[in-house]
Amino acid sequence: MHPILIDLGFIELPTYGVLLAVGLVLGLWTARLRAQKAGLPPEKVVDFGVWVVLGGLLGGKVLLVVTDPSYLASFQGLLSLLRAGGVFYGGLLGALLLAVVLVRRWRLPFWPLADSLAPSVALGHFFGRLGCFFAGCCYGASCHAPWAVVFSDPKAAAISGTPLGVPLHPTQLYEAAFNLANYAFLAWLFRKSVQGGLGGQVLGFYLVNYGVARFVIEFFRGDADRGFVLGGLLSTSQAIALLMVPVGVLLTIRGFRRART
């Protein structure tokens, strides 16, 4: 684990930020290629993607504060908030809200646009979870399996409260592996669907796949700042997943129907 990739003394380059930037660039590049195949204006899609990413970053910070208000209790907490990555579901909701606004303003066809971007979201999330692993955030619960990981960098403990010297589930790697597999599946589905028509089926499968995977992975998480609902029965992310999956199923069914008609 290396939260800081480069430390020059007067400035630090966080590993999480570098991997997040790599994911953003590759996500936008692959979205541009798919936009061309879907008959969308590539430059406009890239601009759209940049704005939506900014909305996602803001949404992730907002939900992080909602689940852990202590970030606003002190100046040091605000600095930690800037360094922290944010809650992915908050980022997804923030991105979707801004996407709706931009689609209406720029008069873009929503379903082909959403299906073109969905695989890129999974790809970007893959790199984001690798960044979480290097930073030590989103860590897992205690684990004594052969693949358990032990974090040791004091900076991770100071920024994210990562337990040091304790074997933990590598939940960041669980989710990274899933997102990479999900990207491969969604990219394949896009290629199969683009000729017959994009009606939201790729986005629908993304919501279903990620919602199910995240619900399961949450049982192995150990960080408390993700928030809980129903008296601690479910984490905030699990509650959102319970809404995400049926919406995804509906979009998938309607998407294939739109493609047929």
Three-state SS for 41-106 is: CHHHHHHHHHHHHHHHHHHHHHHHHHHCHHHHCCHHHHHHHHHCCCCHHHHHHHHHHHHHHHHHHH
Which residue has tokens 């919501």?
207
Q: Give the separation between CA 57 and CA 60, rounded to whole angstroms.
A: 5
Q: Which residues contact 101 (CB under 8 A, 6 or more apart)?
A: none
Q: What is the pLDDT of residue 81?
A: 64
For residues 220 and 168, the answer to whether their CB atoms sit within 8 Å is no
Q: What is the pLDDT of residue 169?
A: 97
Q: What is the pLDDT of residue 248?
A: 96
Q: Give the separation between CA 51 and CA 259, rounded to whole angstroms.
A: 28
Q: What is the pLDDT of residue 45?
A: 92
Tell which residue, 30, 48, 44, has the closest CA to residue 98. Answer: 48
Is the pTM value of this prediction over 0.75? yes
The pair phi, psi for residue 193, each rounded to 5°, is -95, -25
**Domain span including residue 162:** 4-260
CA dihedral of 67, 27, 21, 126, whole degrees rounded to 10: 60
The token pair at 42 is 């590539």
Residue-level pLDDT, tens digit, the chain, 261 residues: 787 878 777 777 888 889 989 999 999 999 999 999 999 999 999 999 899 888 888 888 787 777 777 777 777 666 666 666 666 667 778 888 888 889 989 989 989 999 999 999 999 999 999 999 998 888 999 999 999 999 998 988 887 788 999 999 999 999 999 999 999 999 999 999 998 889 999 999 999 999 999 999 999 998 876 767 777 788 888 988 999 999 999 999 999 988 777
Cα 223 versus chain centre, distance: 17
The token pair at 239 is 């509650």
Residue pLDDT, tens place only, 176-198: 999 999 999 999 999 999 988 89
Q: What is the pLDDT of residue 82?
A: 64
129 is in an annotated binding site: yes
Domain count of the fold of the chain: 1
Cα distances (angstroms) measured from residue 82 to each of 124, 135, 157, 215: 20, 13, 16, 27
CA angle 145, 149, 153 (to 5 degrees): 160
Could you list the beta-strand ranges (E) of the chain. 4-7, 12-14, 149-150, 167-168, 228-229, 234-235
Tell which residue, 149, 151, 144, 145, has the closest CA to residue 171. Answer: 149
